[in-house]
Structure 1
Protein backbone atom coordinates (compact mmCIF):
# COMPACT_ATOMS: atom_id res chain seq x y z
CA UNK A 1 0.00 0.00 0.00
CA UNK A 2 2.80 2.42 0.81
CA UNK A 3 4.19 2.03 -2.70
CA UNK A 4 0.83 2.99 -4.25
CA UNK A 5 0.57 6.05 -2.02
CA UNK A 6 4.09 7.18 -2.92
CA UNK A 7 3.49 6.72 -6.65
CA UNK A 8 0.18 8.58 -6.51
CA UNK A 9 1.85 11.42 -4.60
CA UNK A 10 4.55 11.60 -7.28
CA UNK A 11 1.91 11.71 -10.01
CA UNK A 12 0.09 14.53 -8.22
CA UNK A 13 3.34 16.47 -7.77
CA UNK A 14 4.29 16.09 -11.43
CA UNK A 15 0.79 17.19 -12.49
CA UNK A 16 1.03 20.23 -10.21
CA UNK A 17 4.48 21.12 -11.58
CA UNK A 18 3.17 20.74 -15.12
CA UNK A 19 0.31 23.15 -14.39
CA UNK A 20 2.74 25.69 -12.90
CA UNK A 21 4.93 25.50 -16.00
CA UNK A 22 1.97 26.11 -18.28
CA UNK A 23 1.15 29.34 -16.47
CA UNK A 24 -2.18 29.73 -14.74
CA UNK A 25 -4.77 27.20 -13.64
CA UNK A 26 -7.45 26.73 -16.27
CA UNK A 27 -10.14 27.18 -13.62
CA UNK A 28 -9.02 30.71 -12.66
CA UNK A 29 -11.05 33.66 -13.83
CA UNK A 30 -9.75 36.13 -16.39
CA UNK A 31 -9.11 38.75 -13.71
CA UNK A 32 -7.11 36.33 -11.59
CA UNK A 33 -4.99 35.35 -14.59
CA UNK A 34 -4.31 38.99 -15.42
CA UNK A 35 -3.38 39.90 -11.86
CA UNK A 36 -1.06 36.89 -11.71
CA UNK A 37 0.68 37.97 -14.91
CA UNK A 38 0.96 41.55 -13.69
CA UNK A 39 2.62 40.37 -10.47
CA UNK A 40 5.10 38.27 -12.44
CA UNK A 41 5.96 41.19 -14.74
CA UNK A 42 6.31 43.56 -11.78
CA UNK A 43 8.76 41.15 -10.14
CA UNK A 44 10.79 40.89 -13.35
CA UNK A 45 10.98 44.67 -13.69
CA UNK A 46 12.02 44.98 -10.04
CA UNK A 47 14.90 42.55 -10.57
CA UNK A 48 15.93 44.31 -13.77
CA UNK A 49 15.84 47.71 -12.07
CA UNK A 50 17.98 46.43 -9.17
CA UNK A 51 20.55 44.95 -11.57
CA UNK A 52 20.83 48.18 -13.52
CA UNK A 53 21.21 50.18 -10.31
CA UNK A 54 24.00 47.86 -9.11
CA UNK A 55 25.81 48.12 -12.45
CA UNK A 56 25.60 51.91 -12.44
CA UNK A 57 26.79 52.18 -8.84
CA UNK A 58 29.70 49.83 -9.55
CA UNK A 59 30.63 51.85 -12.63
CA UNK A 60 30.57 55.13 -10.66
CA UNK A 61 32.73 53.70 -7.87
CA UNK A 62 35.35 52.34 -10.26
CA UNK A 63 35.82 55.77 -11.87
CA UNK A 64 36.78 57.50 -8.61
Structure 2
Protein backbone atom coordinates (compact mmCIF):
# COMPACT_ATOMS: atom_id res chain seq x y z
CA UNK A 1 0.00 0.00 0.00
CA UNK A 2 2.79 2.41 0.84
CA UNK A 3 4.35 1.98 -2.57
CA UNK A 4 1.15 2.75 -4.44
CA UNK A 5 0.50 5.97 -2.57
CA UNK A 6 4.09 7.20 -2.99
CA UNK A 7 3.97 6.38 -6.72
CA UNK A 8 0.73 8.31 -7.02
CA UNK A 9 2.29 11.29 -5.24
CA UNK A 10 5.27 11.21 -7.58
CA UNK A 11 2.95 11.21 -10.58
CA UNK A 12 1.03 14.17 -9.17
CA UNK A 13 4.25 16.10 -8.56
CA UNK A 14 5.46 15.34 -12.07
CA UNK A 15 2.10 16.37 -13.52
CA UNK A 16 2.17 19.65 -11.58
CA UNK A 17 5.65 20.34 -12.87
CA UNK A 18 4.52 19.69 -16.44
CA UNK A 19 1.51 21.97 -15.97
CA UNK A 20 3.73 24.74 -14.62
CA UNK A 21 6.15 24.35 -17.52
CA UNK A 22 3.26 24.47 -19.97
CA UNK A 23 1.86 27.57 -18.27
CA UNK A 24 5.26 29.29 -18.39
CA UNK A 25 5.72 28.50 -22.07
CA UNK A 26 2.25 29.87 -22.82
CA UNK A 27 3.10 33.09 -20.97
CA UNK A 28 6.33 33.41 -22.96
CA UNK A 29 4.41 32.80 -26.18
CA UNK A 30 1.93 35.54 -25.27
CA UNK A 31 4.79 37.89 -24.53
CA UNK A 32 6.44 37.08 -27.85
CA UNK A 33 3.17 37.56 -29.72
CA UNK A 34 2.63 40.92 -28.04
CA UNK A 35 6.15 42.00 -28.99
CA UNK A 36 5.63 40.91 -32.60
CA UNK A 37 2.32 42.75 -32.75
CA UNK A 38 3.90 45.95 -31.40
CA UNK A 39 6.82 45.75 -33.84
CA UNK A 40 4.45 45.14 -36.73
CA UNK A 41 2.39 48.20 -35.81
CA UNK A 42 5.50 50.35 -35.45
CA UNK A 43 6.76 49.16 -38.82
CA UNK A 44 3.37 50.00 -40.35
CA UNK A 45 3.48 53.53 -38.93
CA UNK A 46 7.06 54.04 -40.11
CA UNK A 47 6.16 52.76 -43.57
CA UNK A 48 3.19 55.14 -43.79
CA UNK A 49 5.34 58.09 -42.68
CA UNK A 50 8.02 57.31 -45.24
CA UNK A 51 5.40 56.97 -47.95
CA UNK A 52 3.90 60.30 -46.95
CA UNK A 53 7.32 62.01 -47.02
CA UNK A 54 8.14 60.59 -50.44
CA UNK A 55 4.78 61.50 -51.97
CA UNK A 56 4.13 64.88 -50.32
CA UNK A 57 4.66 66.74 -53.62
CA UNK A 58 1.62 64.99 -55.15
CA UNK A 59 -0.65 66.50 -52.53
CA UNK A 60 1.11 69.84 -51.94
CA UNK A 61 -0.94 71.70 -54.60
CA UNK A 62 -4.30 70.43 -53.33
Alignment of structure 1 residues 31-46 onto 2, 5 Å: 31-46=18-33
TM-score, scaled to structure 1: 0.55
The number of aligned residues is 37
Q: Which has the higher contact order (CA 8 A, sep 6+)?
A: 1
Structure 2 gap segments, 5+ residues each = 1-14, 52-62
TM-score, scaled to structure 2: 0.57
Larger Rg: 2
Deviating beyond 3 angstroms after TM superposition, the runs of 4 or more aligned structure 1 residues are: none
Tell me by how many angstroms 1:39 deviates: 0.5
Higher helix share: 2
> Aligned to 1:45, what secondary structure does the other structure show?
helix
Structure 1 gap segments, 5+ residues each = 1-27
CA-based RMSD: 1.1
